[in-house]
Structure 1
Amino acid sequence: MSGKIRACYACQRNGRLTCRRTRLGEPCLKTYPLECVDLLKRSRVAFQAGRTLKEGFRLAQLEAVVQMLEEHECGFVDALGRDLHKSTTLDECLMVSEPLGVVFIMGNWCSPVQTCLVPLVGAIAAGNCAIISPSEYTAHTAELLHRLIPFYLDNECFHVILAGANDLPEVVELRFDHVFFTGNRKEGSRIARAAACTLTPVTLILGGKNPCYVDQHCDIAITAQRIAWARFHNAGQSLAAPDYILCHTDIQAQLVQALKCYLIEFYGSDPRESRSYGRMVNLEIFNRTRDMLWRSGKVAVGGQVIEAEKYIAPTILTEVVESDPIMQQDVFGPVVPVLTVNNMDEAIVFINKQEKPLCVYAFSKNNEVISRLMSETSSGSFCSNDSVLQSLMVALPFGGVGASGMGSYHGRYSFDTFSHRKSCLLRGTRFECVTYLRYPPYEDRNLSLMSWACTLSQRSQGWCQIL
């Protein structure tokens, strides 16, 4: 490299060629090769422009590496022969999945059977013992699991405890080998803090304000039908349901009317009389949801509440602003606010201002709209032109990111969650003629030979360096 430039680390990181100290006539702390500075700057510009993000670009570059090796195989063999003089057999590397030990699984009241048993299946498959704690909010389901699991599963390896939410952090402090929690952010934070005391790894599947963008170019009827099903199923008590709707201003009235029509189709003119419509799990959740409803926006559909029955009608709110209570908390109830935006850019900005959600939904006939929502927002999962279904597919991992959780499960991913992937190197003693180079005293000749040995590789999977 020819030429050097005087610049400190902070200047290089920020892409400046000279730093403030140099401009003031003071000596800079570091000097860097000018060519390196230029290459770093070009690389950073390319990365920030998103050049490496497209799948096609990555595949093309990987294929180019393979093509280079194939087209110039003789050249590489000759060069390696000149440099290394001979080939060497390498060691075998492999990865072994082993069970973590005893895991603690805490279920959630929204889906009390699923959030206990689906993680349990992964824990069993991975070879662990497990203790399950169903939610106290669903006492009947918890009691049933407490009674049945000992009858069907090994009584020494698998257990159910009936513990209150306030007791769970203390239980976690007993030190398990893994903790799996499904619930809200507040309780999840308490669990994570308790687990941190013993350095216990955690999987947190938390709620979040899942946005649902409705583009002006969509099938209003299908969109409304699918949103109404996802939002008001189980009286809105779902971690994965759309939490609020962002729709184009021009279609708000149509969308609200279509949602109303499907609510009538699903639950009749009086959902209270429908056998398909649920109730809030307890008065605490009922009161919380009711208070958000009364203090936010304007009721466009529904709004009826009956405390004695823990009943809240399917409710759609309009004229909601970002500061309203319903936009400040997760909604585990049958209430959906509808906000308007002028375009997709506004929707993306709005979504990205919030904490990262568990799910993002987008409804549009335009594939570019779907692609942008998927790539320019961050969430645990994404689904286009439908809702919730991605959380039910065992072939896909389900979990959050950021404030919506950490880790994932479902199918093979549950097995991985409850396993430790142990790296193993199987070696022999026949290559001591080379490996002796790592032992002191260190001499220039030994260093040269070690550098030569460390560059050896084999294209077939499962082999590694011999030193």
Structure 2
Amino acid sequence: MSKDIEKTISDLRKTFYSGKTKTYDFRRAQLNGLLQFVTENERQILDILSKENRKPKFESCISEISHMKTEINEALTNLKSWMQPTKPRKHISYILDKVEIHSQPYGVVLIIGPWNYPFDLVISPLIGAIAAGNCAVVKPSEITPACAKFLEDTLPNYIDSSCYVVYNGGVAETTKLLEQKFDYIFYTGSTAVGKIIYKAAAKHLTPTTLELGGKSPVYLDDSADVELAAARIMWGKCWNSGQSCVEPDYLLCSEYMKDKFVKAAKKKIQEWYGEKMKQNADFCRIINQNHFKRLTKLLEGSTIVLGGHTDPADLYIEPTIVANVKTTDPIMEEEIFGPILPIITVETPEAAIEFINNREKPLALYVFSTSKIEQNKFLDGTYSGGICINDVLMHYSCSALPFGGVGASGIGTYHGVYSFDTFSHKRAALIKSLDRFGEFTQSVRYPPYTENKLKIINLVTMNIPGMDFVMSNATLPLLLVIFALLYFMYFKF
């Protein structure tokens, strides 16, 4: 495509204001186009992910192909109902009027995707942007150039290129993009870059969703089933070689549980990958040399109790557990984003909660416990984008739940209806009644101002529990009686 981004955005804005993207039929057709793109190109997508990201086919099918299809089909199923105005319960002051909330598209939106799930984390927000009726510029990650090139070349064959544009490039092109005025920006990536995106958005007061990351902790309670916990926690660490924004970053547990966990984790790793793990195709590789060097540097001087083998030529880092970790160690100062799990010992749930709350709010929090009391302590006493009890990662794929961070781990949510809501401005609409009785009830606000009029207004605007429900379900004759009583109570105001 042309690198004249100013003209591209100008053309997209003209298309948006033509109303082309706003109809139900158009939105549905574009969503069907996205579904066709995923379905017809499934093999090519899997091949690209295998070559560029070294992902096992199984992981790519679930985390990319299946998730994209699920999100698109949910949008297609619910689009008509999502587009309908909602009618909130209204105060008795507006009982004769229509009170509605209309979901309006923002306009021209920018979607910046990451490298770790280079198809799903571009398509997933695009589903919401299309469903909500926007035009969009999509910027895939330059770290996965084959994925980005495939999106640029292929996606326009399935959705309207006058409304949706794939814009490729590196840091310079992204910087140029961020100088433009968009109506909404959706970014997935690191907290450091998220701050740059947010600063650029502030120049135009552009609303922004930031899907970031951070250090998502796991608490392993003494009551937990350690075999099950080890399987699920290590699965989360090994999935995509730990290169997920919701990967379990570090483990908090008692000294009593630490040795049990390491033993159970070792058993699971051997069971899954065998003696020659490096030759096992079910384990992903690190994305590039820069990330490999960053991760191996974090291991320097560490007490490794499981794994630790690396191969820079193959970008291979074995699933690794590190013990005797101090809070000041480098591994605890940044998001790991790799198959390395530090263990920090805490002797009580309260100590774990204090440890978590003394740090930035994480994107995800994981708790393994069979005690409802201990589970509730973390549900009520901690703060995170999401929380998952007795599992890891799985809340991400539940479209009934909003997904997103809080504080340093992100701003805003998406998935399912929450994607539609993210890319929609909730426009308030009040349609006033013009009939004579309606005007009679409204005339109390007109001059001359009197004490009796003020009494009526104060009475009507009182928040009486249950009165809104009664008034919302009242018939017109009942309303006439109520207002007539008010009228005569204060004798013509």
Mark yes or no: TM-score above 0.5. Answer: yes
The residue correspondences of 1:219-368 to structure 2 (distance < 5 A) are 219-295=225-301, 297-368=302-373
Among residues 152, 159, 169, which one is paired with 1:163 in the alignment? 169
Distance in 1 of aligned mates of 2:319 and 2:378: 28
Structure 1 residues 117, 293: closer, same or farther in 2, change over 3 A? same
- Please give the secondary structure, in 2, of the residue aligned with 1:155: coil
Distance in 2 of aligned mates of 1:375 and 1:88: 38
More helix by share: 2
Partner of 2:102: 96
Partner of 2:132: 126
Partner of 1:389: 394
Distance in 1 of aligned mates of 2:114 and 2:220: 29
Among residues 358, 366, 379, which one is paired with 2:384 in the alignment? 379
Among residues 422, 425, 432, which one is paired with 2:427 in the alignment? 422
The structure number with the bigger radius of gyration is 1
Letter in 2 for 1:435: Q
Partner of 2:193: 187
1:446 deviates by 3.7
Structure 1 residues 139, 276: closer, same or farther in 2, change over 3 A? same
Letter in 1 for 2:201: A
1:438 deviates by 2.8
1:242 deviates by 0.3
Kept after mapping to 2: 8 A contact 1:380/1:400: yes
Q: Identity across aligned pairs (percent)? A: 40
1:440 deviates by 4.2
- Please give the secondary structure, in 2, of the residue aligned with 1:208: coil
TM-score norm. by structure 1 comes to 0.77
1:169 deviates by 4.2
Distance in 1 of aligned mates of 2:130 and 2:270: 43
- Please give the secondary structure, in 2, of the residue aligned with 1:294: coil
Letter in 2 for 1:197: K
Letter in 2 for 1:346: A
The residue correspondences of 1:73-88 to structure 2 (distance < 5 A) are none
Letter in 2 for 1:404: S
Among residues 441, 457, 466, which one is paired with 1:450 in the alignment? 457
1:454 deviates by 3.6
> What residue ranges of structure 2 are gaps of 5+ in the alignment?
1-91, 484-493
Partner of 1:62: none
Distance in 1 of aligned mates of 2:306 and 2:428: 57
Partner of 2:469: 459
Kept after mapping to 2: 8 A contact 1:188/1:206: yes
Structure 1 residues 439, 266: closer, same or farther in 2, change over 3 A? same
The residue correspondences of 1:403-414 to structure 2 (distance < 5 A) are 403-414=408-419
The farther-off stretch of 313-322 and 157-166 is 157-166
Distance in 2 of aligned mates of 1:182 and 1:454: 45
- Please give the secondary structure, in 1, of the residue aligned with 2:192: helix
1:172 deviates by 2.4
Letter in 2 for 1:311: Y
Partner of 1:77: none
1:384 deviates by 1.0
Letter in 2 for 1:172: L
1:429 deviates by 2.4
Partner of 2:5: none
1:461 deviates by 8.6
Letter in 2 for 1:253: D
Partner of 2:150: 144
1:458 deviates by 4.2
Alignment root-mean-square deviation, CA? 2.3
Distance in 2 of aligned mates of 1:444 and 1:124: 53
Partner of 2:442: 435
Kept after mapping to 1: 8 A contact 2:96/2:433: no
Structure 1 residues 462, 99: closer, same or farther in 2, change over 3 A? farther
